[in-house]
Every structure is written in C-alpha cells, then in structure tokens.
Amino acid sequence: MSGFGLALLESGTGSAGIALVNNYGRTKMHAHPDLLNFDLFAFEHWLAPDHGYPEFATNIPSNTEWTGSTISHNTVFLNKTPQKMVWGGHTRLFTQLKGFGVFELDGGNAYPDVKEYSRTMLLIGGGNRSTIDSSAYVVDIFRVKGGYDHVYSFHGPPGTIVNKGLQLKTQENGTYAGENIPKGMKAKNFPDGYSFLYNIRKDQRPPASFMLDWTTEKGYRGVTDEDDIHLRMYAFTRCNDVALADGDPPQNKPGNPKRLGYVLMHRNGTDLNSTFVSVFEPYRIKPFIKSVHRLDNGTEEQIAIKVEKVDGHTDYLLYNPASQQLMRLPNGISMNGTIGYLQEKNGKVNKGILINGTALKYNNTTLKSTGVITGKVVKMDKELDDKGWLLVDSNLPIEKNLIGQQIIIETTGERDASYTIHDIQQEGNLIKIFCGPVSFVSGFRGGNMVVRTATVPKSYTQGYSYDFEEGASFKISTHAIFPE
C-alpha cells in the first residue's frame, strides 16, 4: 500500500498465519517519527506491539520524548536525535511468493544527513495449514551509512527475556540516560527517550552474535500458559555495547501491558557504516530452528545467513545489494542477483528462489532469470478517474506472471511511486500497464496556504501535481523458482 506507506508480507492462515508489517508512510502531523518500524503477528497475537496512542496527546515527555519518539519503536535511532517528520520512504523491492516474501525500503528522508538508511526484511516459510505452528521466520537487514551514533532498538512481547551469549551487568540506579538520571526525567544533555528506559543490564564488550528469547506473559491480550508463545532473536552485529531495558507503553489504553522488554544494540564512531543483521523466530513450546550462522565476514555489503532447522532442513539466504557482482560462498553457492534462497536436506536442494538476478547455482541446481526489467514512462493517466494506466517504452514481456508484481517508478517527490500491476497489453510500439483503481495525482499545482490549522491549495486552476512525471525511469522485479 504505497500511498499509505505500508509493506505487508503474510504466510499461512488462521492460527498458523504470520504477518510482517512495516510502516514507511508519513511520520508528520498525528503520526510518530517511526519510519521503517515493523510489527510481527503470529499465533493470532501481536509479538512486537507498538505503543499506540499516547497516554495524553499533550506536550509532556512521556509523549514527545518516548511514545511519540523514535527510540521506543523497532527501528534505528541515529545520532542521538529522533527522525525528521516526513511524508514517508520509498520502495526499492517488494515480492510476495508462497512461503517467501521480501521488501526493501528506503527511509533516507528521515535522516537526510546520512548516505543510507534502509531496511530489507524477509518472511521465509510457513503456510502449513495442518499445524498451529507456522514454522516461519523473519530476516532483518538494516543498513545505515554515516553519522556517529547508531542504536538498533527492538522490543518483543511483554514477559521474561532469556539471553545466550551476553555477559550482562546490572546498572544499580538510573536509566539508559545515566546512573544519576531518574525514570521519566525530561531530556536535558541526553537523548530523547533514554530516561524512559530503566532496569538496565548491559554488556560493555558484547560478542558479534547472541540470542534472546522472549516468553510472552500470561494474560497479555488473551495469552494463556498453554499457549507458551515465544519470540527468539538471533543478532549478528558487532556493537560497542548491548543493553537490555524495560520501557512502559501508555498505561491508560486497554490491552497494553505494564512494560515491554527492549534490546538496544549501540555502535559509535566516526562516519559509521552499520549493517544490523537479525533473524526472528516466533514459536510455540519448542523452537523449530536449531541454529543460525552468519557466513559472510561482517565487513562487506553482501550478507549470507545459514539457518539449520530441527527437522533436518538447512536454509541459505543471500543478500547482494550490488546485484551484478558475483556472490560466492565457500560451500559452492554462487549468485548474480539481489536475493537468493536455497533449502536443502541431506545434500539435495528442495527449494530455490532467485530475485532480481540472472543465476543462482548450487551443486547440480541452477536457477536463471532475466534480472530487473527497466524502461521509461512515456505517457500516463493524468486524471482523477482511478484508471491508473501507463504507456511505457520497454522490452517488457507480455506475461501473466508479472500481474501482481510491483512497478517501482523513479520519483523526486515526497511520496512513494510503487504500484501493483493489474494487466499488461501491447499498444503499438509501446506497452500499456494497468495499475488498477488508483490515481497518480498528489495535489494541485500552485502551492499551499494555511487557513487556521488546515493546509489548502492556493489555486485549483493550475492543474495537478503528480507522484512522478512522464519520462521517469521504472523497474519491475523478476524471480525464478525451483521447482517451478
């Protein structure tokens, strides 16, 4: 839903369903500065719950510096300053397949002084209707280039947290803002929200990888002891320090827990280049993942993850932002592409997916595709008629498998320009793409003015402004699947 700024991946149905939701829409006016924040739903429960509406919509620290700020959300807090209030981010990639989905979102508008602020997330597995366990997991790759202080903030469901790998030392007094700073103190000489994070346990020399396990507490939105719902986080980022802390969501909203448990992965330095890599496993009673390993050296842009499952299957996930460069793993897997996924058991590949690439190879299995489809918009629907058509100059194949995919159009505007393809037809030397009942109009030309508290156009006679313009470049992702 690019107009709203919502990326949603789903797998399975009912109690076996899982949903990964990312907000990349507006963060101004009545929204929070939480661009690229994500939520996770599994077993019919909210396992990474947002704070929601503040306790009181007034200018008080618990609203402006905590619930209504960046650090309380599942995103990266940069340079000790909340995100700028913007209209939203932009889609780089979105593909939803059966049992596999991925999106990559650009949130650079929130921190315009850095070179990169983007998030790539994958939902892998699930879809088994014969069990109440989804066996699906999430991969999170958050890239930040620039700045001097990065804090990856995440909170799971309310309940106890068990850790493996961290050597935590309890801070006897104070908050994340400091030992002498009490809970809820208005920010002064420390970042917004830090005084609302309390019960601090910190590892000052954390390992490059560790695991956390949240056990969802009984009574949280109907959770019972028999449910035994967990959320595991496998973290693979070298940090200066890692802290666990508690933070309270608004206490006057029905269903909100008393507190939430946070992990804060902190890196500092000069002109930082951070890639926060994490895997999230929601499970009931027993985990379905045996182990997770990061196979790359941790210093390059290429990311490789190995997930060993209890049932004997092994997954390999490859991420390569420079898709034309060859990516090769020591075990013989190689890829020219952006996203690669392989599942094997006993040395035999059972499933493979290649996105935006030309080749993915392992043993005797090879996936081939055409790579990203590109072109330019020659003509477009310029009316408010909800027809949403484009005439494009491209060697775009007239294939039904492109229906349902996203066409992502280059834009210098504030809003995203990504649309679902509903149909494709040849029209002379051009190709006509129908994007469904949408309009490309973003407003009226001639500027705006403020009347009382509302923003209204100065003129209704100078024509429309659009999310993009004719002549803009576009791209459409492709994929190959094994077995077909």
> Domain with 388 in it: what CATH number?
2.40.30
pLDDT at residue 50 greater than cutoff 80: yes
3-state secondary structure of 170: strand
Do 393 and 281 share a structural domain? no
Residue 205 lies in a domain: yes
Do 267 and 402 share a structural domain? no
- List phi, psi (to 5°) of 74: -85, 75
Do 272 and 134 share a structural domain? yes
pLDDT computed for residue 389 by the predictor:
97
The enclosing H or E element of 61 equals helix 61-61
Q: Rounded CA gap, 184 and 192, in Å? A: 10
pLDDT digits (tens, 9 = 90+) for 399-417: 888 999 999 999 988 889 9
Do 231 and 377 share a structural domain? no
pLDDT at residue 146 greater than cutoff 90: yes
Under 8 Å CB-to-CB from 158, ≥6 apart: which residues?
216, 217, 220, 257, 258, 259, 260, 261
Do 397 and 262 share a structural domain? no
Residue 464 lies in a domain: yes
Antiparallel, parallel or unpaired: β 454-457 and 441-444: unpaired
Residue 332 lies in a domain: no
Q: Rounded CA gap, 361 and 326, in Å? A: 11
Out of 287, 322, 352, a domain closes at: 287
Do 173 and 79 share a structural domain? yes
pLDDT at residue 115 greater than cutoff 80: yes
CB 69 within 8 A of CB 62: no
How much of the chain exceeds pLDDT 90, in percent? 81
Do 209 and 112 share a structural domain? yes
Do 81 and 190 share a structural domain? yes
Do 276 and 144 share a structural domain? yes
In the chain the first and final C-alpha atoms are separated, in Å, by 28
3-state secondary structure of 57: coil
Question: How many separate domains does the chain show?
Answer: 2
Lookup: tokens for 312: 């004997």
pLDDT at residue 159 greater than cutoff 80: yes
Do 408 and 282 share a structural domain? no
Out of 249, 269, 287, a domain closes at: 287
- Domain span at residue 424? 373-482
Residue 177 lies in a domain: yes
pLDDT computed for residue 131 by the predictor:
55
Residue 134 lies in a domain: yes
The pLDDT mean for the chain works out to: 93
Residue 461 lies in a domain: yes
pLDDT at residue 95 greater than cutoff 70: yes
DSSP symbol at 8: E
pLDDT at residue 15 greater than cutoff 90: no
DSSP symbol at 64: I
Query: 29: closest CA among 458, 456, 455?
Result: 455
pLDDT at residue 206 greater than cutoff 90: yes
What is the CATH classification number for the domain harbouring 138? 2.70.98.70
Do 384 and 269 share a structural domain? no
Do 377 and 272 share a structural domain? no
Out of 238, 264, 287, a domain closes at: 287
Backbone Cα Rg of the chain: 23
DSSP symbol at 446: T
Amino acid letter at 138?
V
